[in-house]
A and B are shown apart, each in its own frame.
Chain A
Amino acid sequence: MARNEERYLLQALDFEGVLRACLYRYTRNNSDVEELLQETYARLLTAGSGKEPEVRSVRAFALTIARNVAFDWLRHKQVVPIELVADMEALDVLDEGEQVDEIVNGHQELAMLVKAIQDLPDRCRQVFTLRKVYGYSQKEIAARLQISENTVEQHLTKAARRCAQALFDQPIAERKATFFDRLRRRMRPPHAERE
Chain B
Amino acid sequence: MPSASETTELAASWLIRLEGPATPELWEEFETWLEESPRHRAAFIRLRTAWNRADIVKLLRPTDGTIDSDLLGRLDIAAEAQPPAPVLRPNFARARQQQTPKRADTGSERRRWLVAAGLGCVAIAGALYGTLRTGGDDYETEIGGRQQIALSDGSHVDLNTDSELVVRLTATRRDLTLVRGEALFRVAHDTQRPFYVIAGGTVVRAVGTEFSVRIHDDNRVEVLVTEGRVAVGDPVSTVRPTLPPSASAVSAGERATDNRGHVSISKMPTTDMQRKLAWTTGWLLFQGDSLDEVVNEFNRYNRRHLLIADDAITHKPLGGNFHTTELDSFVDTLEHSFGVKALRAPDGSAIRLIASPDSPDGDSTPEPPESRARSTR
Question: For residue A13, which residues in chain B have a CB less than 8 angstroms away from its CB?
Answer: 46, 49-50
Bits for A1-40, please: 1 = Cβ < 8 Å to B, else 0: 1111110011001000000000000000001001101110
Q: Which listed residue, B5, B50, B59, B77, touches A195 by the CB 8 Å rule?
A: B5
Can you name 25 A-B residue pairings with CB atoms under 8 Å? Answer: A3-B236, A9-B42, A9-B46, A10-B45, A13-B50, A34-B5, A38-B8, A38-B42, A38-B43, A43-B38, A106-B121, A106-B124, A107-B84, A109-B53, A111-B77, A125-B73, A126-B70, A128-B72, A129-B71, A130-B67, A134-B67, A135-B58, A138-B20, A160-B54, A167-B54
Decide if A45 touches B41 in the complex (CB within 8 Å): yes
Total chain A interface residues with beta-carbon distance under 8 A: 62
Closest 6 A/B residue pairs (Cβ): A106-B121, A164-B50, A41-B42, A42-B38, A126-B69, A34-B4
Bits for B61-75, please: 1 = Cβ < 8 Å to A, else 0: 100000111111101
Decide if B124 touches A157 in the complex (CB within 8 Å): no
Minimum CB–CB distance for A151 against chain B, Å: 12
* Complexed CA–CA distance, A34 and B244 (Å): 32
Question: For residue A62, which residues in chain B have a CB less than 8 angstroms away from its CB?
Answer: none
Any B CB within 8 A of the CB of A46: yes
* Complexed CA–CA distance, A2 and B50 (Å): 24
* Complexed CA–CA distance, A68 and B121 (Å): 36
Main SS of chain B's interface residues? helix
Of residues 336 through 355 on chain B, the ones whose CB sits less than 8 Å from some CB of chain A are none
Any A CB within 8 A of the CB of B80: yes
Q: On chain B, which size bracket covers the interface?
A: 35 or more
Any B CB within 8 A of the CB of A163: yes
Q: Which residues of A contact B (CB under 8 A)?
A: 1-6, 9-10, 13, 31, 34-35, 37-39, 41-46, 49, 105-107, 109-111, 113-115, 117-118, 122, 125-130, 132-135, 137-139, 144-145, 149, 153, 156-158, 160-161, 163-164, 166-168, 195
Minimum CB–CB distance for A193 against chain B, Å: 12
Bits for B274-288, please: 1 = Cβ < 8 Å to A, else 0: 000000000000000
Q: Could you say which of B10-18, B101-109, B174-182, B295-303 contacts chain A?
A: B10-18
Known contacts A2-B247, A41-B39, A118-B73; is-contact A139 B118 (Cβ 8 Å): no
* Complexed CA–CA distance, A109 and B81 (Å): 11
Known contacts A6-B238, A106-B118, A129-B72; is-contact A161 B9 (Cβ 8 Å): yes
Any A CB within 8 A of the CB of B200: no
Interface centre among A115, A129, A138, A145 (most CB of B within 10 A): A129
Decide if A5 touches B121 in the complex (CB within 8 Å): no
Q: Which listed residue, A37, A126, A133, A157, touches B9 by the CB 8 Å rule?
A: A157
Decide if B58 touches A132 in the complex (CB within 8 Å): yes
Any A CB within 8 A of the CB of B120: yes
Q: Which residues of B contact A (CB under 8 A)?
A: 3-5, 7-9, 12-13, 15-17, 19-20, 37-39, 41-43, 45-47, 49-51, 53-61, 67-73, 75, 77-78, 80-81, 83-84, 114, 117-118, 120-122, 124-125, 233-239, 243-244, 246-247, 261
Decide if A133 touches B58 in the complex (CB within 8 Å): yes
* Complexed CA–CA distance, A131 and B168 (Å): 24
Q: Which listed residue, A2, A138, A145, touches B235 by the CB 8 Å rule?
A: A2
Of chain B, the residue at the smallest CB distance from A115 is: B78
Question: For residue A135, which residues in chain B have a CB less than 8 angstroms away from its CB?
Answer: 58
Q: A2-B234, A153-B16 are in contact. List 13 more A-B contacts (CB 8 A).
A: A3-B244, A9-B45, A41-B43, A44-B42, A106-B56, A110-B114, A111-B81, A117-B72, A118-B73, A129-B70, A133-B71, A161-B9, A164-B49
